Amino acid sequence: QGLQRKFAMMDEKKQALLDKMVKYNTGKIDKKQAGLAAKGIARKKVQKQILGDKVRYCISGGGFISQETIEFINGVGYNLYNGFGMTELGVTSVELSQDVNQRLKGSIGHPFHGVQYKIVPSDKNNPDHGELFVKSPAMHVREIIGGVEKDVELDKDGYFSTGDIAELDKEGCCYIKGRIKDIIVNADGENIFPDELEIFFQGLPHTTHLAVLGIAIPNTKYEEVDLILELDNTVSEKEIDEIKAEVKKIEPTLPHGVKIARIFIAKNKLPLANGIKVKRFMVKKAIEGGTNEYFELGAKKQTSSLEGVDKEVVAELLEPMREIFSRVLILPTYKIENDAHWINDLGGDSMSYVELINEIQDTFEVTLPEEVLGQLATLNDFVLEVAKLQSEAKKEQK
């Protein structure tokens, strides 16, 4: 994703060269049509911007891989071989074909000698789609779970349950679709794979990480499909609206007619596994538990703790005050909650606090009393104090 964004910023001539290179290396155009893009010198220049020109092949293993990733990596001249493995099993298969068209299919290949795959279908009408079970001579023999050592749990035929959903084609090649625990069952009873949906949103601007989740619909056994975004701190309110509009444009292209019910923005960094993959179960648990770690786009903004202040006064002060907090902290306004603490929640310090005080005093033409400085720590605190000072000033004028 980072590379594609980087290449998207290049001039049109370089972008056209890269586009031809990808098409040539994935068999979509011939050498004559590719021209300079088919030459080794062009490939070396592009590869120096990525992994260097010494890398001969790349391997992806153990999970779902998007078609976009397969085409891009193979397209810039690195042969990408997709496989499957687990800590409990070791590596059990790799698509080893020298034919790029075969590798582009995204298969994990056939199981290695001595390894056996079988699909346990959840739908009798689709016997080639279901959970992948593996039998292997390299399988682990004991487990320690919760401090208790025990035998490995296998089915009656000695196969190990991987927890992955897979599919077999007519040639017996296997394709990983996603993890069982991540499958979303919507109101139509369809199984939806988050990995397949997340690909469609990878190009959203200002997005550092994202996740598609199934969030429980109250009083039903079904889930709605929600999109969770982690945005960088340079994003503006206008750009957030543009991101929302872009999601709506993408929606009609999603498989199975999927609709995004809600969009959430993470106020802090999303939890990651190995610094790469979003821990969906943690985000799901937090949202279903009613946490305030995630801000729902379009939801009514919090106005608590401002009772007793005229609504018109609040309307005049609240958003301009939020903008000041945002500028001083260099944070987007959606992260500035009404009751978020300057230091504990927003990461401010004493130096930036002085800057905040000066900006508030200049903007609202008030002088904050010294005895309250340091005690005012939230947006609500400052709104209440400024409202009080402005009210006192009006009384004096009368």
Segment 16-65, tens digit of pLDDT: 888 999 999 999 999 999 999 999 898 888 888 888 889 988 888 877 88
- pLDDT for the residue 94: 93
CB atoms under 10 Å from CB of 269, counted, come to 9
- The pLDDT assigned to 33 comes to 94
pLDDT in tens, 152-168: 999 999 999 999 999 98
pLDDT for residue 390: 87
- The reported pLDDT for the residue numbered 150 is 94
Decide: pTM greater than 0.85: no
Q: What is the pLDDT of residue 300?
A: 60
pLDDT at 340: 85
Positions in the chain short of pLDDT 70: 1, 300-308, 398
Query: Which pLDDT value is given to residue 1?
Result: 67
pLDDT of 118 reads 94
Nearest to 65, CA basis, from 215, 258, 196, 163: 196
At CB < 8 A and 24+ separation, what contacts does 312-315 make?
313/387, 313/390, 313/391, 314/383, 314/387
- Which pLDDT belongs to residue 298? 77
